Chain A
Amino acid sequence: MRDPVPARPAAPPPGRRSRSRSGRASGRGRLGLYLLVAGTVFVSFFPTVWLFLTSIKSQAQIYAWPVEFWPSPATLENYREIFQVSTELVRYIVNSFVVASGMTFMILAVGGLAAYSLARFDYRGRFAVLTGILAVSMFPPLALLPALFDLFLEIGLLNTYIGLILAHTGLYLPMAVWILSNFYKTIPRELEDAARMDGASFLRIFWSVILPLSRPGLIATGLIVFIMSWNEFPLALVLMTDNAMRTAPVGISLFPGEFSFPWEIISAATILAIVPIMVISAIFQDRIIGGLTAGSSK
């Protein structure tokens, strides 16, 4: 099942907590590690920090020359202006939330089952299905745009939550299925075989055995598709033309004028729009790492 690993003696006595992977890292190694971490944090954070700083500067300061890095003074006028220029930003964020949550739930449910089917069962054409799913997902969303619009127009799914949820689900399902089926493969068969022998149905096995063990995978996948749906633009632009139904990225794209790009408002709006993602990912990051102990107690 797994790739051959040099045979090892039995697990060490229980109760011995595992330390950091390198165990005996030298002082210099440690410093190097910290530097690396600090560097990574800086590079990763920096542009978003810049965006945030921009959002709390006055317009004059944003475009000042020479470039002024720190806001002086910091001001919330941009945020205030957003709510004047576009009181619907909150509505847009709510819409994004509804669509992204609905889609995540659907993908995990539908994709989770499909991935299990493809990872565990042996039937003809399995690989073909897997490759086929991957193949259709290789088309750029661009190709989907006019055709999907035409279809949704006929069926009447334009400007509905369920419509965009379905569209996003379709868009990211293949990726989710691939990621999830990989996770399932890392779960030892013995557990399922044991449950089978106890007479459990497949659905039951899936629910009670597989799901808990693949939590890190489910959460990671869920987080990934949630963020992808949140940030998705082309389909959301075209399938939700009703103002009240627009999602956050599309709503924000309405801020620029034909020629002008008002960074003062757009930076503030973007910060507002990514706050929910940050909150959710902060919550779930713990779960992903928290899966550490769950994974090792086999």
Chain B
Amino acid sequence: MRHPTRHGPIRAMAMLVALATLTFSFAQDATEVVLSIGSRGFGEAAPVLIEKCEQQIGGIDVEWNRISDVPNESRSVYVTNFTARNDDPDVVAVDVIWPGDFAGRGWIAPLDEYFTDEELSEYLPGFLEAAQIDGSTYAIPLYIDGIHLFYRSDLLDKYGFDPPSTWEELIDQANTIVAGEGDPDLNGFVSMWAKIEGLFMNWLSFFQGAGGSFFDANGNVNVDTEAGRQSLETMLDILYEHELAPESILTYRPDDARILFQQGRSVFLMVQDFVLEPLTSEDSPVRDDVGFTRVPYFEGHEDANTTVIGGFLLAVNAYSDAKEASAELIRCMTSQESQVQATLLQGKVPTRPAVYDDPQVQEERPNVAALGDNFLHAFARPSAGAGTAYPQISEIMQTEISAVLLRQKTPEQALQDAERQIEPLLQ
């Protein structure tokens, strides 16, 4: 028979050690935070920033859930996740037009308790607004993109033109150049006018450039105005009167327009800044001849904001079980240091004005630094004000604008129909 007391102390020791290890590991247990962000849009910066932030914050373990960068696709995944009240992912990268929608549905958590007003003031106000609903902030800007006017600097130089600042000038210049070159393959203007979100963005640019404002002071939709008509008529003129744009422009997504311009077949290009990299790359036939400037306004509206912005923000899943850790991660990933890193690594356009002045950024990514000026005239789409009705409003506008451009409706008719359909949604 074994004598119990001889093994007693050993067993006790063992148990103590086990207990200690257990509690120790419990205390060391890192909070898992699942970050959902695209692998192409942020793929180079993400691993670097994640590692850095894990170290800086300590006690968190970030898992990177790669999601599609195509907003439609990631949106369907998010809708499925949120309606099922999944607690993963904790931190989600949201397109700029989603916070109003997601917040209205209670899918993302307000971040006011984690960020002070002072911290928030360091981000581009035009961008942050898109995430501020009813006085609360629901997402923090990560990176931005905007629509700019790109042009063939060689052609403009050849005809002695400065980059146009008004639409009237642009149309003049395009007409002259196309007539002068006599090249049947050369178009005056190309953009992304398929029935997509980008069409609404494009039109908003024209609209604001004519002094328009989507919502009036009382929050009612206000597109059936002189500005609304002028914007549509100019688009029609570019297409049919001056024949500056190919008719197929109505099937174009942003990259289609980029390809046409890259093939040297257009004088002007109005599209997001993602085109800078491919257009100036080794492979591009136009690599040395690309210039960019702010999207034009109409004569008499110099102060108009015509740079429509897109981009991504980071938000916290309302059903997450790690909200505080998530907020910390967001703070770290959108910090000055992180944004500089992202810009240097991947050319992401930052959402902190201070980053544009960073000397390293100016040296290594001069294009990004130059874009900063255009973002002084940035404006976001009316997504925050529209809340959960935004997807429908955008769809209505896209359809009406398309109908005008396909010459199935007059501008007046379309704008009236648009207002008629949008009003009930805003109740």
Chain A positions near chain B (C-beta within 8 angstroms): 58-60, 63-65, 86, 145-146, 149-150, 153, 237-238, 241-243, 253-261
- B70 part of interface (Cβ distance < 8 Å): yes
Q: Residues on B close to A: CB < 8 A?
A: 38-41, 65-71, 73, 76-77, 79-81, 83-84, 86, 145, 185, 253-255, 258-259, 262-265, 272, 274-275, 278, 282-284
B41 near A260: Cβ-Cβ < 8 Å: no
Of B38, B84, B259, the most chain A CB neighbours within 10 A belong to B84
**A150 proximity list for chain B (CB < 8 A):** 83-84
Once bound together, how far apart are the Cα atoms of A150 and B69, in whole Å? 24
Alpha-carbon distance between A242 and B34 when the two chains are bound, in angstroms: 11
A145 to B262, CA, bound (A): 40
- Knowing A146-B83, A256-B69, A256-B70, the reply to whether A237 touches B255 (Cβ < 8 A) is no
User: Please, how many angstroms separate the alpha-carbon atoms of A63 and B253 in the complex?
Assistant: 15
User: B264: which A residues are within 8 A, CB to CB?
Assistant: 65
Residue from the list B39, B253, B265 in contact with A65, Cβ < 8 A: B265
Residues of B within 8 A of A146 (CB): 79-80, 83-84
In the complex formed, the residue of A with least CB distance to B39 is A254
With beta carbons under 8 angstroms apart, the residue of B69, B70, B283 that contacts A59 is B283
**Chain B contact residues, majority secondary structure:** mixed
**Residues in B neighbouring A257, C-beta threshold 8 A:** 38, 40-41, 69, 274
Q: For A63, list chain B residues within 8 Å (CB).
A: 259, 262-263, 283
Report the bound CA distance from A243 to B254 in whole Å: 28
**Which residues of B lie under 8 Å from residue A254 when comparing CB positions?**
38-40, 66-69
| Cβ–Cβ contact B265 & A237, under 8 A | no
Contact B283–A60 (Cβ < 8 Å): yes
Nearest Cβ on chain B to A151's Cβ, whole angstroms: 9
Nearest chain A CB to B163's CB is how many angstroms away? 23
User: Are B274 and A259 in contact (CB-based, < 8 A)?
Assistant: yes
Q: List 30 A-B contacts (CB under 8 A).
A: A63-B263, A64-B263, A65-B185, A65-B263, A145-B76, A145-B80, A149-B80, A149-B84, A150-B84, A153-B84, A237-B73, A238-B76, A243-B66, A253-B68, A253-B70, A254-B38, A255-B40, A256-B40, A256-B70, A257-B38, A257-B41, A257-B69, A258-B38, A258-B69, A258-B70, A258-B71, A259-B272, A259-B274, A259-B275, A260-B258
Contacting residues, chain B, for A241 (C-beta < 8 A): 65, 77
Question: For A260, what are the chain B residues with a Cβ–Cβ distance below 8 Å?
Answer: 255, 258, 274, 278
Question: With A and B bound together, what is the CA distance between A65 and B187 in angstroms?
Answer: 14
Residue of A nearest to B36 (CB): A241
Task: List, in ascending order, chain A residues with CB within 8 A of B275's CB.
Answer: 259
Which 5 residue pairs of A and B lie closest in terms of their CB atoms, listed nearest first?
Answer: A60-B283, A65-B263, A257-B40, A150-B84, A258-B69
Residue numbers in A under 8 Å from B265 (CB-CB): 65
Contacts of A242 in B (CB 8 A): 65
A131 and B402 CA atoms in complex are apart in Å by 43
CB distance from A176 to the nearest CB of B (A): 27
How far is A64 from B260 in the complex, measured between Cα atoms in Å? 10
In the complex, which of the residues A86, A238, A243 contacts B65, with contact meaning CB atoms closer than 8 Å? Answer: A243
Please indicate the chain B residues that have their CB under 8 angstroms from the CB of A64 in the complex: 263
Residue in A63, A241, A255, A258 with the greatest tally of chain B CB atoms within 10 Å: A258
Q: Which residue of A lies closest to B253 (CB)?
A: A259
What chain B residues lie within 8 Å of A259 (beta carbons)?
A: 253-255, 258, 272, 274-275
| Chain A, residue nearest B89 (CB) | A241
